[in-house]
């Protein structure tokens, strides 16, 4: 096990290139199951979630060849191999194997998904969609069993706007007989990305990116080549880091429209940002003003950026209120920020941040992926050295983050933990 160390106070300068979207990759890889020939996906991020999904594809008989950031997947010999435990437990997005395997094989056995714990995140809307398409679903000994004699298109209204349920139902419906209509669908860019891949494979999908998606089922899907979109959450995280501790940082390979809610709030704080077609130039602001944010489904402020943004607010003048309407348990990072002298209190589903304060380096623990990002933001601003453990969470979503920050001028490095540190970490 390793820990990350950051010597704070160093200004960031230069250019950072954003990787492919994690939240697309974790759906695009399972989607390849639906094809009858080779699928090539370009621009994949070098993160542990991608490695885990590639191994799962191999478990069910796929041939997976990774060439840099491009993966070649031959799904022709895949079978409906049960995946009850093991790697499935490592990430929540393993649930996309349900929709993909159900769509191709009309059956699947998938263990209940793992990943970061952010409070209750039921998959009832996924199951509702599968059942509407004609599948029977049961929970047996901690695994979900899905079976169908055939899948038939249906009109499905999602009671809660859910990215996962929207994509999973799409995966199951593209080879169902007849027309499927998903109402109250999520509208995130990653859904459009998955729909683009499926369309390139021969699926007939209309309305991706709106709240009503229409799918006309087809009998066969073929292999294709697809380039993943840039990761808007990684781009947003580096934009926040540049706002917090950057002098002049160019963020490359980004779609600025995907970051509009964040950019609006940063400008409201006093950060100067120049937009290009695929780039952002962020200038460090002085005398920042605090703002309030409320996370909402897309196109509102993303819940995945709430945690790193709350660290930035410690630099701002006044009091800012951060309200998370998506995951109300997403405040585990607050106690860690307090260890670094942050003045924050949690009231219900809101965190109240008072500033400005000078953060102090401390030993802290990442409890989930975006909590880890918030601690890195804090470490860059802090006086002294910050030690961050729980890097397995960070590695799930940020490719080569220590190297990218070092290239910008940050003093950041990784070290192996001692046996005593590992024991303390496991017991904490």
**Chain-centre distance for alpha carbon 188:** 11
State percent of the chain over pLDDT 90: 89
pLDDT band of 114, cuts 50, 70, 90: low
The predicted-structure confidence for 348-376, as pLDDT tens digits, reads as follows 999 999 999 999 999 999 999 999 999 99
Q: Is the pLDDT of residue 15 over 90?
A: yes
**Chain-centre distance for alpha carbon 401:** 15
Instruction: Tell me the mean pLDDT in the region 7-24.
Output: 97
Q: Is the pLDDT of residue 117 over 70?
A: no
Q: Is the pLDDT of residue 120 over 60?
A: no
Q: Is the pLDDT of residue 327 over 50?
A: yes
The predicted-structure confidence for 163-211, as pLDDT tens digits, reads as follows 999 999 999 999 999 999 999 999 999 999 999 999 999 999 999 999 9
Q: Is the pLDDT of residue 115 over 70?
A: no
pLDDT band of 404, cuts 50, 70, 90: very high
State percent of the chain over pLDDT 70: 98
The answer to whether the pTM exceeds 0.85 is yes
| Residue 86 pLDDT | 75
- For the ranges 26-30, 211-215, 417-421, the lowest mean pLDDT is seen at 417-421
State the Cα–Cα distance between residues 237 and 374, nearest whole angstrom.
Answer: 9
Instruction: Tell me the mean pLDDT in the region 321-341.
Output: 93
Alpha-carbon dihedral angle through residues 20, 23, 29, 30, given to the nearest 10 degrees: -170
State the Cα–Cα distance between residues 286 and 379, nearest whole angstrom.
Answer: 19
- For 138, the token pair is 């049961």
Question: What are the beta bridge partners of residue 345?
Answer: 352
Q: What angle do CA 173, 296, 253 make, to 5 degrees?
A: 75
Half-sphere CA count of 100, side-chain side, radius 13 A: 28
The answer for residues whose C-beta is within 8 angstroms of residue 56's C-beta and 6 or more apart is: 83, 87, 88, 94, 97
Q: Is the pLDDT of residue 274 over 50?
A: yes
Q: How far is CA 315 from CA 144, 266, 322, 340, 357, in A?
A: 46, 12, 15, 13, 6
Task: Using alpha carbons, select from 379, 381, 383 the residue that is nearest to residue 391.
Answer: 379
| Residue 195 pLDDT | 98
Phi then psi dihedrals of residue 18, to 5 deg? -85, 140
pLDDT band of 141, cuts 50, 70, 90: confident
Residues annotated as catalytic (active site), given as ranges: 116
State the Cα–Cα distance between residues 129 and 170, nearest whole angstrom.
Answer: 9
DSSP 159: S
pLDDT band of 119, cuts 50, 70, 90: very low
């Amino acid at each position: 096990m390793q820990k990350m160390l950051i010597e704070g106070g160093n200004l960031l300068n230069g250019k950072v290139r954003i990787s492919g979207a994690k939240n697309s990759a974790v759906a695009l890889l399972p989607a390849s199951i639906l094809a009858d020939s080779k699928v090539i996906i370009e621009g994949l991020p070098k993160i542990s979630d991608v490695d885990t999904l590639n191994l799962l594809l191999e478990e069910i008989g796929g041939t997976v060849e990774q060439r840099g950031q491009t993966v070649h997947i031959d799904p022709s010999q895949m079978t409906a191999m049960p995946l009850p435990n093991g790697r499935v437990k490592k990430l929540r997005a393993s649930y996309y194997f349900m929709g993909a395997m159900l769509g191709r094989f009309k059956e699947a056995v998938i263990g209940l998904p793992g990943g970061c714990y952010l409070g209750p995140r039921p998959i009832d809307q996924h199951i509702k969609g599968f059942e509407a398409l004609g599948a029977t679903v049961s929970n047996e000994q901690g695994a979900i069993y899905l079976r169908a004699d055939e899948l038939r298109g249906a009109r499905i209204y999602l009671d809660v706007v859910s990215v996962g349920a929207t994509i999973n139902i799409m995966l199951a419906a593209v080879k169902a007989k007849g027309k499927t209509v998903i109402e109250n669908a999520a509208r995130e860019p990653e859904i459009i990305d998955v729909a683009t891949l499926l369309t390139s494979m021969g699926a007939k999908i209309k309305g991706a990116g709106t709240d009503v998606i229409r799918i006309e089922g087809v009998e066969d899907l073929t292999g294709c080549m697809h380039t993943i979109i840039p990761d808007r959450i990684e781009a947003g995280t580096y934009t926040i880091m540049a706002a917090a501790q950057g002098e002049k940082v160019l963020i490359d390979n980004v779609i600025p429209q995907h970051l509009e809610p964040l950019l609006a709030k940063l400008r409201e704080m006093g950060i100067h940002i120049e937009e290009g077609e695929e780039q952002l130039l962020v200038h460090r602001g002085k005398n920042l003003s605090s703002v309030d944010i409320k996370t909402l489904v897309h196109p509102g402020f993303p819940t995945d950026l709430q945690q790193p943004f709350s660290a930035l607010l410690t630099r701002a003048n006044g009091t800012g209120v951060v309200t998370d309407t998506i995951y109300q348990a997403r405040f585990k990072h607050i106690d860690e920020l307090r260890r670094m002298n942050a003045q924050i209190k949690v009231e219900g589903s809101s965190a109240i941040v008072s500033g400005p304060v000078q953060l102090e380096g401390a030993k802290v623990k990442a409890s989930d992926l975006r909590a880890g990002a918030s601690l890195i933001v804090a470490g860059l601003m802090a006086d002294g050295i910050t030690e961050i453990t729980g890097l397995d969470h960070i590695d799930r979503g940020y490719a080569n983050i220590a190297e990218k920050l070092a290239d910008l001028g940050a003093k950041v490095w990784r070290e192996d933990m001692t046996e005593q540190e590992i024991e303390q970490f496991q017991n904490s």
